Structure 1
Amino acid sequence: MLKKLMTAAALAALGTLPAHAALNAGDAAPAFTTQASQAGKAFEFSLKEALRKGPVVVYFYPSAYTGGCNVQAHTFAVNHDKFTAAGASVIGVSLDSIKRLNDFSADPEYCAGKFPVASDADGSIARSYELAIRAAAAGKKDTRGADIDHATTERTTFIVTPDGRIAAAVGGLTPAANVEKALEVVQQLSRKRT
């Protein structure tokens, strides 16, 4: 019994270790242009264009309308003004379709129209950041009861500076802690600029 408990504790601890993102602080962030949605309206998002205004928090998450992703989106929305005050913008990226993201981006419980979420339906953006992609699990439902029929990527956040470099890669944290760490990084960047 004790051995089973120790094994379970060790496995649980592994879940809290930082995700291994091959891209780390100092690496060039791959530029991307893709369909995104904000407040239910689709548009073309360009990382290169967004970086002209300041640092960009690029956060990858598994799927809209799932437990942890709902918490993370809500936490980013609640803290949106703090990111803006630090001169940073936020973009969420998942392998969801733009149709699902139109709903998610406008949902007052989650993104609340505060920041855009981008569709990486083929996983090419996640792969360019060297993130792991998992195939869709048959029969998996989201929190609304709809099928999740797309692959997912690991939860990892990259803070990208206007020169296109990664200032920090944040993984292996709970969804809310992930947002808090990203905010801490952009606030440090803001203090360095002033």
Structure 2
Amino acid sequence: MISAGDTAPDFTLPRDGGATVTLSALRPGKVVLYFYPKDDTPGCTLEAQDFNARLADFTAAGATVIGISKDSVKSHDKFCKKHGLGIILASDEGGTTCEDYGVWVEKSMYGRTYMGIERSTFLIDGTGKVVRVWPKVSVKGHADEVLAAVKAL
């Protein structure tokens, strides 16, 4: 997994609404990059809603919030519409960005192992450096913790 102090791997990915998002194009702004397993599942919905509820605060602090999963753009569009989301949701269907950030990992549930996205968040400064990493995120209170870190940056 990418660590604090590393240069954030650049990417250009398709996003909700049919456009693309390129990490390096967002400089010199700060970026909150959060990886989540699947659109419209309970934990992922709560996480997206929490980031979305604080979107104005993130924007005021000079940060762009981007959620990334392996879901399709069509799935992201449906997810955004259903829950009124204004945050950027990027589609990494091929998994390259998930692998670049080290969040595509072996997981296990009920004794079965499978590959999946480890819920993780990266705070990237205006120069493209990762300044903070939250691995194995617990959703409750996470958006508030990330917002505090953005404001302190």
Report the TM-score, using the length of structure 1 for normalisation: 0.71
The aligned counterpart of 2:140 is 176
Contact 1:58 1:90 in 2 (8 A): yes
Give deviations 1:78-137, integer Å, cap 9, x for gaps.
111111111111000000011101111223x3xx242110000011001001123459x9
Give deviations 1:42-98, integer Å, cap 9, x for gaps.
10111111223x100000000001110000000011111111111111000000011
Q: CA RMSD in A?
A: 1.7
Q: Share of identical aligned residues, percent?
A: 32
The aligned counterpart of 2:104 is 132
Q: Pick one of 26, 32, 36 that aligns with 2:11.
A: 32
Contact 2:35 2:69 in 1 (8 A): yes
The aligned counterpart of 1:143 is none
- Structure 1: 5+ residue stretches without partners: 1-21, 138-150, 190-194
Q: Work out the CA distance in 2 between the residues paired with 1:106 and 1:152.
A: 25
Aligned residues: 147
The aligned counterpart of 1:105 is 80
Which has a greater percent of strand? 2
Q: Does 1:60 align with 2:35?
A: yes
Q: Work out the CA distance in 2 between the residues paired with 1:92 and 1:113.
A: 11
Report the TM-score, using the length of structure 2 for normalisation: 0.89
Contact 2:10 2:23 in 1 (8 A): yes
Runs of at least 4 residues off by over 3 Å: none
Contact 1:171 1:178 in 2 (8 A): no
Q: Work out the CA distance in 1 between the residues paired with 2:71 and 2:137.
A: 22
Q: Pick one of 42, 45, 60 that aligns with 1:85.
A: 60
Contact 2:118 2:136 in 1 (8 A): no
